[in-house]
Amino acid sequence: MGRRIYLEDIPLEEAWARFLQALGEAGLDGPFSGERVPLDQALGRITAEPIWARLSVPPYPAAAMDGFALRAQDTIGATETQPRVLPVHPADAGEGACYVDTGDPLPPWADAVVPVEQVQFDAEAPERATQIILYQPVAPWANVRPVAEDIAAAELVLPANHRLRPVDLGVIAACGYADVWVRRQPRVAILPTGTELIPPEHAAAQGVRLGEIIEFNSLMLSAQIREWGGLPTRFPIIPDDFDRLLEATREAARTHDLVLINAGSSAGREDFTARVVSTLGTLLVHGVAVRPGHPVILGMLQVDGRSIPVIGVPGFPVSAALTGEIFVEPLLARWLGRPPSRRPRLSAVLTRKLLSPLGDEEWVRVTVGRVGERYVAAPLPRGAGVLSSLVRADGILRIPRFVEGYDQGQVVSIELYTPIEEIEGTVLAIGSHDMALDLMAQFLAERYPGRRLQSANAGSLGGLIALRRGECHLAGSHLLDPESGEYNLPYVRRYLAGIPVAVVTLAHREQGLIVARGNPKGIRDLQDLARPDVRFVNRQRGAGTRILLDYHLQRLGIDPRAIVGYEREELTHLAVAAAVASGRADVGLGIRAAAAALGLEFIPLALERYDLVIPLALYEDPWFQPVLELLHEARFQAAVAALPGYDVREMGREVARFAGS
């Protein structure tokens, strides 16, 4: 009998409908009951019932200023020429005036307070005065806070289902409470699965061997759950063993409100999650038409007479994060009695075309910046395992089912992760990848708080085209012109004709062949790329490194079709080096710094100039000056010079300025 395959492909809305129906039948579709907690532990919690004031605020007539309490009628007729003189007595004397600090109760016989700066008194300090002199009358109830001026006893202070802020805690205390009734926090169990997984602590201490994967999804999911108001429990890693996963799931269900089983949700040989859910309860959904995150599992467990929802979270990190956002967060919101999180949105111009599978709803992470009068969104790599897209994303673009995608230049709606004020301070660079840009991002953030540099790797030609379309602030380029032997300027004239720009050198850097340590294939030069036993890894079309390679291949008379792996492309120098380090390729063309970063050997080929191409209006704009100032800062130059193969002697030099038409 063959394996049973569960994977479906149902719309997100239908998946949610099945899940909510099952939750409703189990009585789990509404807010949790409450619990009482001390105010100093209530920050961020959700109120489970309305809070009515026990006390008025203030609870008695109180002085609103430092001064002297008195009867207003005793000051009638006071002028500059005929001042009133009042004796100062203790509060219980019942006449004249008495000194009060702000917030002190007003004596029952007094009906006003005169500030200390509006009277003269006969002592060095007002609290030691024996009499005061007034030069103008005081109105009744002047500078007095009446009872319940702010809040009256029995008045509604906060409604139910309100997230408590620091200011709320102070007001609740002022109204006579030392604790507050809040929604019980959902307890969420996270079960990481996979024989190949190792804890981060193990990897940090002993490194990672071939075939091992650091388990970090549970750490990420746990942090998400805490941020959303839940109480996570990370279970130890469970190997790919059905019986052990079954028992761990049963144990987790006994003490938690929700169980998340991470990985094992596909239909592979060792994917046991669906079978475990079916064994312990009901499998509601296995496969949702979303990307990333298609193999999501939704179900209900029956353990010890209780119904407990379970979600099978895909193992790829981008899928896991998105599953948390679209399934876990809304469920926790229901239980806590609050609406699901709604991030701010903005409209942005898409920097490149996006194609999407017709049957799936796709979520694409983007980096966002403001260029001129509009916002632009540059899509990040879309793979479910692309970790960098998680940390670099400023927002997410949702492509609905049955939409083929969006065109370059189309205005789309972006749901933001990054605050809008940070986006306003973002310098967006599109073009060739360079490690010095990563250092620039670091130095810019350190030296100029609120400013940051975001890069999108599109190759040198892609950067110039993006600059022409007004989709970035600067383009990084290292394009060699085969006819003149000049870097960048011929391409700027060709692709940015009529557009005023400045071309400024970032650095010179060594390009060459990156090979494994010990150079086991004995590779000496570009001629060896045509050997049938040599596997090559290339850069994408439009990359300056690809153009440099093609230039030299043409000079040597080498047909690219003779190179094994010529069509295999990576987007960055570090990705090329990683392909060689992992053994997936024998050689790649890249910069020396990338080879050194991964402990590889390097065969030099050329010294190239890497320039920044900047619109002239921005080049002279004070908003952009921090970037230019960094190019002349000694610390930044030293940091770039420390990269193997980099020469910074011409950093910051204006190579050319094109006035445009």
Does residue 429 sit within a domain?
no
Confidence class for position 571, pLDDT limits 50, 70, 90: confident
Q: How far apart are CA 603 and CA 591, in angstroms?
A: 10
Examine the domain organization and report whether 179 and 190 are in the same domain: no
Q: How far is CA 7 from the centre of its chain?
A: 31
d(CA 534, CA 17): 54
- Based on the fold, state whether residues 468 and 563 are members of the same structural domain: yes
Classify residue 146 by burial, with Cβ atoms within 10 Å: 0-12, 13-18, 19+. Answer: middle
The whole-angstrom separation of Cα 598 and Cα 94 is 86
Mean pLDDT of the chain: 92
- pLDDT 10s digits, 344-362: 999 999 998 999 887 889 9
pLDDT tens track for 45-102: 999 999 999 999 999 999 999 999 999 999 999 999 999 999 999 999 999 999 999 9
Q: In terms of domains, do 48 and 174 share one?
A: yes
State the pLDDT confidence band at 5, using cuts at 50, 70 and 90.
very low
Q: Which of 183, 208, 238 is the last residue of a domain?
A: 183
Q: Residue 375 domain-assigned? A: yes
Residue 540 near residue 567 (C-beta atoms within 8 A): no
Clarify whether residues 163 and 261 are in a common domain.
no
Q: H helices within 207-266, ranges in order?
A: 217-227, 242-255
Residue 1's pLDDT band, with cuts at 50, 70 and 90, is very low
Tokens of 200: 């981060």
The reported pLDDT for the residue numbered 267 is 56
pLDDT bracket for residue 383 (50, 70, 90)? low
Q: What is the mean pLDDT of residues 160-189?
A: 96
Share of the chain above pLDDT 70, in %: 97
Please give the pLDDT value at position 385: 54
Q: What is the pLDDT of residue 420?
A: 94
Asked, for residue 7, whether it belongs to a domain, the answer is: no
Determine the pLDDT at residue 263.
Answer: 83
Is residue 3 scored above 50 in pLDDT? Answer: no
pLDDT over 60 at 264, yes or no: yes
CA-CA distance, 191 to 276, in Å (whole number)? 13
Residues 179 and 283 in one domain: no
297 and 266 Cβ atoms separated by less than 8 Å: no
**166: in domain:** yes
On whether both 576 and 629 belong to a single domain, the answer is yes
Residue-wise over 174-191: b if at least 16 C-beta within 10 A, else e? bbebeebbbbbbbbbbbb
Please indicate, yes or no, whether residues 548 and 493 belong to a single structural domain of this protein: yes
Task: In whole angstroms, give the CA distance from residue 294 to residue 296.
Answer: 6
**pLDDT value at position 579?**
94
Give the pLDDT of residue 459: 86
Residue 386 has pLDDT above 80, yes or no: no
Strand 258-262 versus strand 306-313 pairing type = parallel
> Which three-class secondary structure state does DSSP give residue 132?
strand
Q: Are residues 248 and 391 in the same domain?
A: no
CA 499-511-522 angle, to 5 degrees, is 155
Of the pLDDT bands very low, low, confident and very high (cuts 50, 70, 90), residue 572 is confident
- Distant-in-sequence, close-in-space partners of 322: CB < 8 Å, separation ≥ 6: 290, 292, 293, 363
Indicate if the pLDDT at residue 225 is higher than 90. Answer: yes
Give the domain CATH number at 401.
2.40.340.10
Entry pTM: 0.83
* Number of domains the chain is built from: 5
- Quote the pLDDT of residue 302: 97
Stretch 566-575: mean pLDDT, rounded?
90
User: Tell me: the pLDDT tens digits for 485-506?
Assistant: 899 999 999 999 999 999 999 9
Does 3 map to a domain? no
Q: State yes or no: pLDDT of 121 exceeds 70.
A: yes
Residues 231 and 190 in one domain: yes
216 and 260 share one domain: yes
Does residue 93 lie in a domain region? yes
State residue 628's pLDDT score.
96
Q: Cβ–Cβ contacts within 10 Å for residue 99, how many?
A: 22
Q: Average pLDDT for residues 229-245, to the nearest whole number?
A: 95
Q: Are residue 247 and residue 196 in the same domain, yes or no?
A: yes
The CATH number covering residue 160 comes to 3.90.105.10
Q: Which residues pair with 378 in a beta bridge?
A: 367
**What pLDDT score was predicted for residue 661?**
62
Alpha-carbon distance values, 530 to 522, 523, 525, 552, 564 (Å): 13, 11, 10, 13, 7
> The domain containing residue 165 runs over which residues?
34-57+150-183
The Cα–Cα gap between 228 and 217 comes to 16
Q: How confident is the model at residue 387 (pLDDT cuts 50, 70, 90)?
A: low
Task: Round to whole Å and give the CA distance between 265 and 450.
Answer: 41
Query: For position 546, which CATH number holds?
Result: 3.40.190.290
Q: Which of 275, 310, 336 is the last residue of a domain?
A: 336
Structural domain ending residue among the three candidates 126, 160, 183? 183
- Are 541 and 647 within one domain? yes
